[in-house]
Amino acid sequence: MLKLDLHIHSECSEDGIGSPKEIIKSLKKRGLQGMAITDHNSVEGSLRALKVAPKDFIVIPGVEISTKDGHMIALDVKENISRRLSIEETVEKIIDLGGTPIVPHLYRNMSGIKKVKLKSIINKISAIEVFNSCSTPQTILKMVNLAKELNLGGTGGSDAHEPEYAGYGYTVIDTTDLNKDTIISHINKKKTWGEGVTLSLDYRNIRMVKSIKQFFQRGLKRI
């Protein structure tokens, strides 16, 4: 059984800190075997991670894309994808690059896509994020129930923006194979799920306040 945090931000996200090497160190300390760095609209962090990761640690290159309809994670891609496209166009771009689209943090006000938009891409995706350490327990339950209702697989991630919080959420894969392609295959076959520990209310409140401040600093522009 493997555990990988498939939603992490590094210093290559405008709202993140920490190098890929620091994130890997934190994850290994928590007993995880791999990760995907999914910085906002940039694959730079994940490409750096590929260069510094030890041989016994899986790195899946990725990115979290800001679409017109909310955020979308692309796994197994090494190229940036234009932001502000529709969710449908974004998913097509991910697939064209040979990547795997994952819908993160549904129901999040500022950045989650809506259920009606999810249904517009339902035939093009295999999994949604069913565990996000920065989401509330009530929201996580809704994501779990929706994945089961729609017969989708699940992923999990910490959504950490600092290395010390990486690994609180993770994806469980029933294999011991450290090959990246094996992990992607399990996701595409709907054979993965998300688990973990919700970050404290105090920390989630700090993150929310920081996000709101950054929103105003960007001139009311979302990431």
CA distances from 50 to 15, 20, 38, 114, 133 (A): 21, 9, 13, 33, 24
CB of 173 closer than 8 Å to CB of 2: yes
How far is residue 65's CA from residue 132's CA, in Å, rounded to a whole number? 17
Higher pLDDT, 206 or 17: 17
CB of 105 closer than 8 Å to CB of 133: no
Query: What confidence tens digit (pLDDT) does each residue in 1-28 have?
Result: 999 999 999 999 988 899 999 999 999 9
Return phi, psi of residue 33, to 5°.
-105, 0
pLDDT (average), residues 208-220: 59
pLDDT at res. 16: 85
Q: Could you give the 3-state DSSP secondary structure of residue 38?
A: coil
Indicate the CATH number for domain 2-217.
Answer: 3.20.20.140
How far is residue 65's CA from residue 60's CA, in Å, rounded to a whole number? 16
Query: What confidence tens digit (pLDDT) does each residue in 52-61 have?
Result: 999 999 999 9
pTM of this prediction? Answer: 0.91
Q: Residue 77: pLDDT band by 50, 70, 90 thresholds?
A: very high
How far is residue 71's CA from residue 60's CA, in Å, rounded to a whole number? 18
Q: Residue 38: pLDDT band by 50, 70, 90 thresholds?
A: very high
Work out the angle at residue 44's Cα, subtended by the Cα atoms of residues 42 and 47, and round it to the nearest 5 degrees.
130
pLDDT at res. 212: 60
